[in-house]
Structure 1
Amino acid sequence: MSRIGKLPIKIPDAVDVNCNGSEIIVKGKFGTLSNSIPEILTVQQNDGSLIVELKSSTRTGRALHGLHRTLINNMIIGVSEQFNITLTLKGVGYRAAVQGKNLVLNLGYSHPVEIEIPEDIKVEVVQNTTLNIKGCDKEKLGQFAANIRAWRQPEPYKGKGILYAGEVVKLKAGKSGK
């Protein structure tokens, strides 16, 4: 039995959870998320908590048990609090701006990079070089941040690029440092 899977999920007061067979719908003040669970799992809703139970203890069943419990927990946290990722642009002339539904990045290329912002994600430019990305779906938020970061990943010689908040790039010595 999964250690993570057997933990109960607490439901905040502002969140509404509906379990219809294998479909789970979570509604909160920041949006609505839905997910389907495999047939090997069941979800029971008790007073103020959810419990994900495993029908048969197979190897794939045990793996899916902890996974889907975490996915449901992330859905509940996302619609009640939202997830936040902070990106920092580090480099000479690197800057960002939001224009309508597009994020415009100047990253040292001969042209500005325009990335379309998904509907359920909010992007805020705090300074010219700091981005705050918020959303209720953790998977979409992480993928969007990774797509932005893919334009200029941090390089190990000067430390330039798009970094997550708190990320430290270990610099290499270069050609002269033998």
Structure 2
Amino acid sequence: MSRVGKKPIPIPDGVKVAVDGQTVRVEGPQGKLAWAPRAEISVVVDAATKTVVVTRKADDRMSCSLHGLSRTLIANMIEGCHKGYLLSLELYGVGY
């Protein structure tokens, strides 16, 4: 049972999430992203609560692994289209 995969993903204001067949499309102020999860995973967008729910079709080992992974990838897509990605580096050592 995936605890990560069970949590619904909130959709912030200004971000549109659409599911076309098996392809998840996210569009926001920072850009557009699309991703197609494997057939074992289904994605549903709930417009009333503004959330994305990821479910798996079977309880085998591979589906359980893909469940949490798919939820995390979609959450990262939403965050990237909403706020963008930031990478901060700290350099240590001689010569920097």
- Taking structure 1 as the reference length, the TM-score comes to 0.50
Q: Which residue pairs with 1:84 in the alignment?
A: 86
User: 1:57–1:161: structure 2 CA closer, same or farther, 3 Å change rule?
Assistant: farther
Shift of 1:86: 1.7
Letter paired with 1:22: Q
Equivalent pairs counted in the alignment come to 94
State the distance in 2 between where 1:160 and 1:34 align: 42
Ranked by relative contact order (alpha carbons within 8 Å, sequence separation 6 or more), the top structure is 2
Runs ≥4 in structure 1, deviation > 4 angstroms? none
Mapping of residues 1-178 of structure 1, within 5 Å? 1-46=1-46, 47=48, 48-90=50-92, 159-160=93-94
1:62-102 deviation per Cα after TM superposition (whole angstroms, max 9, x unaligned): 00000010000000011001111122445xxxxxxxxxxxx
User: 1:41–1:85: structure 2 CA closer, same or farther, 3 Å change rule?
Assistant: same
Q: Identify, as 1 or 2, the structure richer in strand.
A: 1
Letter paired with 2:36: S
Q: Identify, as 1 or 2, the structure richer in helix.
A: 2
Structure whose alpha-carbon radius of gyration is higher: 1
